[in-house]
Amino acid sequence: MATKANLVIDQGTTFSSIITVTDAEGVALDLSNYTGAAQMRKHYSSSNSFAFTVYVTNTGTVTLSMSANTTANITSGRYVYDCEITSNTGVVSRIAEGIVTVTPEVTR
């Protein structure tokens, strides 16, 4: 089951958030044979999406990030997102999901 985690992105700034993936005992998992993907959309059924850059480590962390140029082009408001990791055998697991709030930029 995915962890529920809401995110706040300040429009026009560099964004980064780290997710730690652990087992039932709280020990970080070795994710060295995994890849990741994450997107945000205005609604679950929206055809338009914004992709996060996803970096997976062997120490159990998954980093979601977006450049300042990317966040500057996202209209402020509320969005939904999720993050999935895929093993080298093709097993897909959703590790996080929630609401993204994009706050408007004043300085341009």
Q: Cα torsion for 6, 7, 11, 17, to the nearest 10°?
A: -170
User: Quick one: DSSP state of residue 90?
Assistant: -
> Predicted confidence band at 108 (pLDDT cuts at 50, 70, 90)?
confident
How many CB atoms lie under 10 A from the CB of residue 74?
Answer: 19
**Domain-by-domain residue ranges, the chain?**
3-103
**Residue 9 in tokens:** 């992105």
Nearest alpha-carbon partner for 36 in 59, 51, 11, 55? 55
Q: Is 69 helix (H, G, I), strand (E, B) or coil?
A: helix
- In CATH, the number for domain 3-103 is 2.60.40.10
Report the C-alpha gap between 100 and 60 in whole angstroms.
Answer: 23
pTM score of the predicted model: 0.92
Residue 1 has pLDDT above 70, yes or no: no
